[in-house]
Structures are given as structure tokens and as C-alpha cells.
Amino acid sequence: MTDDQLLRYSRHILLDEIGIEGQERLLASHALVVGAGGLGSPALLYLAAAGVGRITLVDDDTVDLTNLQRQIAHTSARVGQSKVASASQAMLQINDGVQLTALQQRADAALLEVLVPDADVVLDCSDNYVTRQAINAACVRHARPLVAGAVIRFDAQVTVVDQRSAHTACYACLFPPGAHFEEVACATLGVFAPLVGVVGALQAAEALKLLAGVGTSLAGRLYLLDGRSMEWSSMRTERDPSCPVCGHHA
């Protein structure tokens, strides 16, 4: 670790649970983040600031004026740019020592099959059910820890899927892939801006804990936030033996 790195990450190094060894693990790690919008913005900025050595970000969208109410990695000047290019610029302004790979692509099953095995942790910051299921399936298949978050209106949730832990539920155990429901979006129902910051920061915290080997993750728990009352609740989750995605791993 260089003198500059020792100074930059000194507040992490001062933590007994992290120290120099934990920070070196972060510097040597690779995080894959799918989605550079409301959740991805704070998650990506914190991962870069914390010194995660390699970060791959995937998003096929461009910055729109309506994004700026909550997607803090982007600016008015970057409206029309790809979200991955805009977010990369914001991350490098915080920490130019991070190695970034920015992919303006949709995270379909074929792309995830390439990217997930090379990652040490995956953050699902996407905004649609199909992509969430594809990310979960790839992480289960390759035994990569997944930090999944979602926000709509005043409601938020975050959990960790870690198939390295016995009996831990995957995303499909909680939300069956074949379920028929009407897809909801911020464009029609709205979203309370600070909640994506809260959940995105939590996703970054869980990812950093997993990478540094610190504390206990949210694996086996679904963390829920009601933004109207600012009340948190936690649900215990268990692997479904009949789950079409992870059941055969039980």
C-alpha cells in the first residue's frame, strides 16, 4: 500500500475490524454493479471512495432530466450521456485510482454469464424484475454473493443472497420467477428521492463488509424500510427446497 493510499484510507485502517489487511482486500477486489441509476449512484460512489480496486458497471440507459431528482452520480451537464460514462466520471473525480469497466449494455443472461464469475461481489441496482431474476440466477450458479436492493414510492428493501451459507434463501425463493404481476416503475408511481440513497449506501456497506470479511451480512434476512414512518423491519428468510433456481443446491 502506498503512502497516498495509507492516508486516503486511514479512517478505514483505524477500524480494528478492517485495518490494513482489510483495506488491502478491498483494493484487490472486484465488484460488479448492475444499474447506474438511483441505487447504483450512491453504491458506486461509495465503492470507489472506499477503494474497491476494480469496479464493473453495467447499464444500457442514458441520463435524462427526470433522473436528476435522485440519481446523484449524474449532473445537468451530462444529460444525454450514457449513465455508465456519467457515473464513471463521478467516480474517478472521487478516486482516480479505481480501475473501471463501463458497459453500456443490458444485463441479460449471456452478459451476466461472462461477468459474474469474475466478480467477488455483485450488486443488483437494477430497476426491473426480469433483470433481478437473471442476476440472482447467475449469482447462484457461480456462487457469488449478491447484494440486492429495490425502492418504489416510499417503500424500500435490501437483502444479501449468499449461496456459500447453508440454508440461505436466494431472490427467487422470496419472489418466484414465474409470478405474474404488473411491473411498476418510478415513471408511473414515483419514488421518494432520499430512499434510493439510503438503500444504495446500505448495498455498498454490505458489499464492503463481504469483501473485507467484516461483521455479519444480511444473508438470511430481508430488510424493509417504510419511508413514511422511517420504520425498519426485518424478516427472516430460508431457502425454499422447491425453488427452481437454488433448490437443488440445498
Positions annotated as catalytic residues are: 186
Residues 6+ apart with CB under 8 A from 174: 159, 222, 237
Residues 6+ apart with CB under 8 A from 70: 38, 41, 191, 193, 194, 196, 197
Q: Any idea which residue has 448495498 for its cell?
A: 203
Are β-strands 30-34 and 121-124 bridged in parallel, bridged antiparallel, or unpaired?
A: parallel
| Residues 125 and 37: beta-carbon distance below 8 Å | yes
Cα separation, 90 vs 69, whole angstroms: 16
The three grid cell numbers given for residue 96, joined into one nine-digit string = 482516480
**φ and ψ of 232, to 5 deg:** -95, 145
Cα separation, 99 vs 53, whole angstroms: 6
DSSP 8-state secondary structure symbol assigned to residue 153: B
Torsion of Cα atoms, 43 then 48 then 50 then 56, to 10°: 80
